Amino acid sequence: MQYPAVFSPDPSGGYVITFPDIPEAISQGDTEAEAICMAEDALVTALDFYFEDHRAVPAPSQPKIGQRLVALPAALAERVRSFNAVLGRQGLGAFQA
């Protein structure tokens, strides 16, 4: 499972990273390599908000030109699928990936 991310150059240096599908995931990095690492961490951390609030995790959208894909670790991707499936059975809405 991969989510598109926007890596925007920061005027003071480095990059600001945002995720259109997961607005809670915001980070920054001073170098491209650091930004990639921070993006992965921000995405993983932001998903905790969905789990804690019992909200379905949004499905990843198709990436737009200029966006980069950030992958979830396989175990977390499976947790998202299972979590959303349970919410769907409870009538709270979810997606199936």
Residue 69 belongs to some domain of the structure:
yes
Say if 96 falls within a structural domain: no
Do 7 and 18 meet the contact criterion of CB atoms below 8 Å apart? no
Range of the domain at 26: 2-89
Report yes or no on 94 lying in a domain. Answer: no
- 20-64: pLDDT as tens digits: 999 999 999 999 999 999 999 999 999 999 999 989 999 999 999
Work out how many domains the chain is built from and give that number. Answer: 1
- Band the pLDDT of 95: cuts 50, 70, 90: very low
Q: Would the pLDDT of 94 be above 60?
A: no
35, exposed or middle or buried, with CB in 10 Å at 0-12, 13-18, 19+? buried
Domain of residue 29, CATH code: 3.30.160.250
Model's pTM, two decimal places? 0.86
Does the pLDDT at position 92 exceed 70?
Answer: no
What letter does residue 6 receive in the DSSP assignment? E
